[in-house]
Structure 1
Amino acid sequence: MAENDFQTTVESLYQGINQFISSKTVVGEPIHLGDTIILPLVDVSFAVGAGAAAGSSKNANNSGGGMGGKINPCAVLVISNGSTKLVNVKSSDGLSKILDMVPDFVNKITGNSKAENATEDIDIDSVDV
């Protein structure tokens, strides 16, 4: 009887894995910005555990199980104008690289060049208030 409970528990856990993890979990949905495509990449880890006990007990259900997972962003794949860049975001440097790339993407989409967006530097100490 405990054998049947254990088998049922394990089967139900593995059926839930299909809903929990898919290829889109690892690669992510592509983001289209003009002629640029950004694909987020993540590390996926998961664990499954199940158990059952046999013996005389007032409780007829002596089995149980659990499943857990962890998803961490690891990189961003940027495809633009026929070139491909892989930006690692596991460290804070990778995240700042992505944030630094955002204005370039916006400029490509809106058609603005850096010269059009240039601003005049003003020395704050020389300004009278």
Structure 2
Amino acid sequence: MPGEEMVRVTAEELRNFITAKAVIGEPLDLGDKVVFSIARFGFAFGAGAGHGKESEKGGEGRGEGGGAGGGVDPIALLVVHKDVKGPGGVQLFPVTRKGMVAEVIETIGETIPPVIEQVASVIGERKKKAEEPEEE
């Protein structure tokens, strides 16, 4: 398949593949709600052809090639409640992993209040001891 035709066929196939249905997915009707899966995807492709110098045997060197790659990552689930009108009837549940910084901040946020309470308790005890009259 010549290089130009390879690029044309690849582009046509990608056009058929890349649709809103491919990104959002088929809705899942659960009776009182409808769930949509939302994904992110990317792709790349390339093709090329070349002609080399004539070989010692008199033949002409030629080469053609192509390649493509892609990926799909789930992002979220979108839930639409049929019996709730307006924005209140729509929920978005992210399914991507948190970044390391977000995890550290969340972990620190969970551990700081108990640490502060412990430090305050120790300081309070020391203050009480300092205020107590010394025994002679």
Note whether the superposition's TM-score is higher than 0.5: yes
Distance 1:23 1:59 in 2: 46
Identity %: 34
Determine the structure 2 residue equivalent to 1:113. Answer: none
Alignment root-mean-square deviation, CA: 2.4
Residue aligning to 2:7: 10
User: 2:102 — aligned with what?
Assistant: none
Which letter maps to 1:90?
T
Partner of 2:33: 36
Q: Which structure 1 residue ranges, 5 or more long, are not aligned?
A: 93-129
Q: Rate the CA distance shift 1:78–1:62 in 2: closer, same or farther, 3 A.
A: same
Between the two structures, name the one with larger relative contact order (CA 8 Å, sep ≥ 6). Answer: 1
Change (3 A) 1:28 1:59: farther
- 1:23-62 aligned at under 5 Å gives the runs 23-55=20-52, 56=54, 62=63
Normalised TM-score (structure 2): 0.57
Structure having the higher Rg = 2
Return 5+ residue gaps in structure 2 as ranges: 99-136
Give the drift of 1:68.
1.2
Structure-1-length-normalised TM-score: 0.60
Instruction: Report how many aligned residue pairs link the two structures.
Output: 89
Larger proportion of helix: 2
